[in-house]
């Protein structure tokens, strides 16, 4: 079965690894992100020519999201898999964060994920099922303090994931929330943390395997809602 997958929020690191893994498993992969050059280069470099589709999209813009899904349907057909992977960095506390930055974090991680899910799940219900995965963080389950915009958006995404799972699970739509508890290895990450041991970073290619495992399960009654990815006993990121 050839699936059509949308990865909403693609950049170097886990987003790229997800695109490569899904394409390697035979998916047609649509890449949503604002940076056109990044997704066009990645789409052209996926395992089989024609499997990748770059869809320049501001995931805080409702109209752009809807237009992006229309482009995917025209090129690939209905959506079978959605990964809500986008988030907006918002690393300040209550008194330092301005309203505009808070709203940006919510617009991308909250409203953007809502609109993407609405578009994708509509396709999945009509076709008899599919998979929606939300990329979460430690902040989605316990606040770290001082990151109120990011935390609010991640809590919202987790709540939406749970609600969609309960509403559409009986119709064959598997919804999973992936809690990432650690720092993802990526371009420049180790240079920014020269004193950190390599085993305290999360490998994005290995993480992508977990996401794919959630997609390929075929027994809706035993599918997990929440999966935690950590760097195990070496985890120091969120102590």
**Weakest-pLDDT range from 20-29, 106-115, 129-138, 186-195:** 186-195
Question: What is the value of pTM for the model shown?
Answer: 0.93
pLDDT in tens, 191-205: 777 777 777 889 999
Token pair listed for 238? 């969120």
Please provide the average confidence, as pLDDT, over all residues in the chain.
Answer: 91
Please give the helix or strand (H or E) that residue 173 lies within, else none.
Answer: strand 173-181
Segment 143-178, tens digit of pLDDT = 878 999 999 999 999 999 999 999 999 999 999 999
Q: What is the mean pLDDT of residues 126-145?
A: 92
Q: Does the structure show a pLDDT above 70 at 234?
A: no
* Predicted local distance difference test score (pLDDT) of residue 47: 84
The least confident of 48-57, 121-130, 222-231 is: 222-231
- Percent of the chain predicted with pLDDT > 70: 93
Give the pLDDT band (50/70/90) at residue 236: very low
- 95, exposed or middle or buried, with CB in 10 Å at 0-12, 13-18, 19+? exposed
Q: What is the pLDDT of residue 232?
A: 56
> CB of 86 within 8 A of CB of 108?
yes
Residue 72 and residue 52 in contact, taking contact as beta carbons nearer than 8 Å: no
pLDDT tens, position by position, 69-92: 999 999 999 999 999 999 998 889
């Amino acid at each position: 079965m050839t699936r059509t997958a949308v990865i909403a929020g693609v950049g170097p690191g886990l987003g790229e690894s997800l695109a490569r893994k899904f394409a390697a498993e035979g998916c047609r992969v649509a890449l949503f992100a604002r940076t056109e050059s990044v997704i066009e280069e990645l789409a052209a470099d996926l395992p089989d020519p024609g499997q990748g589709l770059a869809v320049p999209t501001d995931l805080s813009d409702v109209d752009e999201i809807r237009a992006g899904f229309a482009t995917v349907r025209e090129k690939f057909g209905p959506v079978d898999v959605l990964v809500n992977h986008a988030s907006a960095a918002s690393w300040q506390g209550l008194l330092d964060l301005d309203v505009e930055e808070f709203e940006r974090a919510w617009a991308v991680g909250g409203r953007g994920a809502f609109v993407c899910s609405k578009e994708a799940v509509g396709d999945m219900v009509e076709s008899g099922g599919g998979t929606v995965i939300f990329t979460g963080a430690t902040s989605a389950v316990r606040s770290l303090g001082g990151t109120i915009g990011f935390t609010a958006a991640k809590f919202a995404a987790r709540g939406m994931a749970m609600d969609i799972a309960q509403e559409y699970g009986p119709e064959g739509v598997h919804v999973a929330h992936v809690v990432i508890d650690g720092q993802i290895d990526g371009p420049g990450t180790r240079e920014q943390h020269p004193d950190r041991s390599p085993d305290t970073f999360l490998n994005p290619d290995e993480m992508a395997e977990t996401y794919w495992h959630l997609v390929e399960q075929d027994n809706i009654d035993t599918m997990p809602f929440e999966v935690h990815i950590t760097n195990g006993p070496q985890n120091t990121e969120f102590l």
